[in-house]
Amino acid sequence: MDALLLIAHGSRREASNDEVRELTRELVQKSKRKFSIVECAFLELAIPSIPEGVTICVQKGANSITVLPYFLSAGRHVAVDIPEELGKAMQLHPQLEIKVAPYLGSANEISSILVSLSKQAA
């Protein structure tokens, strides 16, 4: 089974983490043709951690995980920290296939969304 794991930074403010969890629930609906499991995990400050999130997917039956970095820029978190955490997860689950999707900020559609938001200013 294929799993999608949305990875966010994590915040001391629980409402921000809840926004990520809510988005994850939206993704369940929107990606159910491709992914039978959709979970989220946090780099720091919130749970589950990345290795914990991977383990949750495996316990639900995943043998392949697509990781989706919910980050705006290709900084240290995307380039170094997330791969490091995924490395820990792979030691726990050596048979697991892990693929990494491009981070959110790299999507071509971002500028169109910004234009659309600019029209909702008040």
Annotate each residue in 79-98 with x if it binds a second copy (CB under 8 A) or - if it does not, as one string: --------------------
Rounded to a whole number of angstroms, the minimum distance from the CB of residue 94 to a second copy is: 20
Task: Give pairs for 114-118: CB < 8 Å, separation 24+.
Answer: none
Q: Choosing from 3, 5, 9, 43, which is the catalytic residue? A: 9
Q: How far is the CB of 111 from a second copy (least distance, A)?
A: 4
Residues catalogued as catalytic: 9
Residues forming the site for a second copy (CB under 8 A): 4, 6, 8, 11, 13, 15-16, 19-20, 23, 26-27, 30-31, 34-35, 66-68, 70, 72-76, 99-107, 109-122
